[in-house]
Amino acid sequence: MLLVKQELLAALADTLESLSPGAGSKAAFESPKVAAHGDFASTAAMQLAKPLQRKPRELAEQLSAALQATPAFGRWVESVEIAGPGFLNIRLKTAARQQVVKEVLEAGAAFGTRPARTDKVLVEFVSANPTGPLHVGHGRQAALGDAICNLLATQGDQVWREFYYNDAGVQIQTLATSTQLRAKGFKPGDPEWPEQAYNGEYIADIAADFLAKKTVSSDDREYTASGDVDDIDSIRQFAVAYLRHEQDLDLKAFQVRFDNYYLESSLYTSGRVAATVQKLIDAGKTYEQDGALWLKSTDYGDDKDRVMRKGDGSYTYFVPDVAYHIAKWERGFHKVVNIQGTDHHGTIARVRAGLQAAGVGIPAGYPDYVLHTMVRVVRGGEEVKISKRAGSYVTLRDLIEWTSTDAVRFFLLSRKPDTEYTFDIDLALAQNNDNPVYYVQYAHARICSVLAAWGGDEASLVDADLSPLASPASQALLLQLAKYPEMLSAAARDFAPHDVTFYLRELAASYHSYYDAERILVEDEAVKRARLALVAATARVLHNGLAVLGVSAPRKM
CATH code of the domain in which 46 resides:
3.30.1360.70
Rg of the Cα atoms in the chain: 29
Q: Could you tell me if residue 471 is inside a domain?
A: yes
> Helix, strand, or coil here: 429?
helix
Per-residue pLDDT at 202 exceeds 70: yes
How far apart CA 460 and CA 106 sit, in angstroms, is 11
Higher pLDDT, 31 or 203: 203
The whole-number pLDDT of residue 388 equals 58
For 267-293, what is the mean pLDDT? 96
- Which structural domain, as residue segments, surrounds residue 492? 433-549
- Asked if residue 507 is part of any domain, the answer here is yes
Report residue 317's pLDDT band, with 50, 70 and 90 as the boundaries.
Answer: confident
In a domain, 393, yes or no: no
> 184 and 85 share a domain?
no
Is the per-residue pLDDT at 146 higher than 80? yes
pLDDT band at 390 (very low <50, low <70, confident <90, very high): low
Query: Does residue 39 register a pLDDT over 80?
Result: yes
Interval 463-473: pLDDT, tens:
999 999 999 99
Query: Is pLDDT at 37 greater than 90 in this prediction?
Result: no
At residue 509, the pLDDT reads: 97
Tell me whether residue 145 is exposed, middle or buried, using C-beta atoms within 10 angstroms of its C-beta: 0 to 12, 13 to 18, 19 or more. Answer: buried
Using CA atoms of 449, 455, 460, 463 in order, give the dihedral in degrees to the nearest 10: -70
Residues 437 and 542 in one domain: yes
What does the pLDDT look like over 409-440, one tens digit per residue? 999 999 999 999 999 999 999 999 999 999 99
The 3-state secondary structure of 454-488, one letter per residue: HCCCHHHHHHCCCCCCCCHHHHHHHHHHHCHHHHH
CA distance 543 to 539: 6
The closest alpha carbon to 121, from 154, 76, 74, 94, belongs to 154
Model confidence, pTM = 0.91
Sheet hosting strand 306-309, strand order edge to edge: 286-289, 292-295, 306-309
Last residue of a domain, one of 30, 58, 92: 92
Whole-number pLDDT of residue 33: 79
pLDDT of residue 389: 60
Taking CA atoms, 422 is separated from 373, 393, 395, 425, 427, in Å, by 11, 14, 15, 9, 11
Last residue of a domain, one of 36, 66, 92: 92
**Residue 209 to residues 18, 225, 226, 235, Cα–Cα distance (Å):** 77, 8, 10, 10
- Structural domain includes residue 268: no
Residue 175 placed within a domain: yes
Please state, in angstroms and rounded to a whole number, the distance separating the CA atoms of residues 375 and 201: 22
| Pairing outcome for strands 87-92 and 77-83 | antiparallel
Residue 292 covered by a domain = no
What pLDDT does residue 536 have?
98
Rounded to the nearest 10°, the torsion over CA 169, 173, 175, 177 is -170
pLDDT of 386 higher than 70: no
Number of domains the chain contains: 3
| Residue-by-residue DSSP string for 14-69 | HHHHHHSTTGGGG---B--SSGGG-SEEE-HHHHHHHHHT--HHHHHHHHHHHHHT
In a domain, 18, yes or no: yes
DSSP assignments along 196-228, one per residue: TS--SHHHHHHHHHHHTT-EEE-SS-EEE----
Task: Name, in order, each residue with C-beta under 8 angstroms of 73's C-beta and a sequence gap of 6 or more.
Answer: 8, 11, 67, 80
User: What is the identity of the amino acid at 202?
Assistant: Y
Gap between the Cα atoms of 198 and 174, Å rounded: 7
- What pLDDT score was predicted for residue 391? 65
pLDDT at 166: 85
- Quote the mean pLDDT of the chain: 94
Q: How many CA atoms lie within 13 A of 470 on its CB side?
A: 7
pLDDT digits (tens, 9 = 90+) for 397-407: 999 999 999 99
* Structure confidence by residue, pLDDT tens digits, 488-498: 999 999 999 99
Is 453 within 8 Å of 535 (Cβ atoms)? no
Give phi and psi for 191, each to the nearest 5: -60, -30
Q: Cα 191 to chain center, whole Å?
A: 47
Peptide bond before residue 320 is cis, with ω within 30 degrees of 0: no
Once rounded to an integer, what is the mean pLDDT over residues 44-65? 94
- pLDDT band of 513, cuts 50, 70, 90: very high
For the stretch 428-436, contacts whose Cβ atoms lie closer than 8 Å and that sit 24 or more positions apart, written own/partner, are 428/402, 428/403, 428/404, 429/402, 429/403, 431/557, 435/407, 436/410, 436/411, 436/501, 436/505
Q: Do the domain assignments include residue 139?
A: no
Torsion of CA 83, 85, 86, 92, to 10 degrees: -20
86 and 174, same domain (yes or no): no
Q: Over 90: is that where the pLDDT of 282 sits?
A: yes
For the stretch 225-274, pLDDT in tens is 999 999 999 999 999 999 999 999 999 999 999 999 999 989 999 999 99
Specify the DSSP class assigned to residue 420.
-
Q: What is the CATH number of the domain that holds 477?
A: 1.10.730.10
Query: Of 255, 273, 305, which marks where a domain is finished?
Result: 255
Q: How many CA atoms lie within 13 A of 546 on its CB side?
A: 27
β-pair partners for 223: 216
Mean pLDDT of 194-198: 92
3-state secondary structure of 173: helix
Alpha-carbon span 340 to 338, nearest angstrom: 6
SS3 state at 418: coil
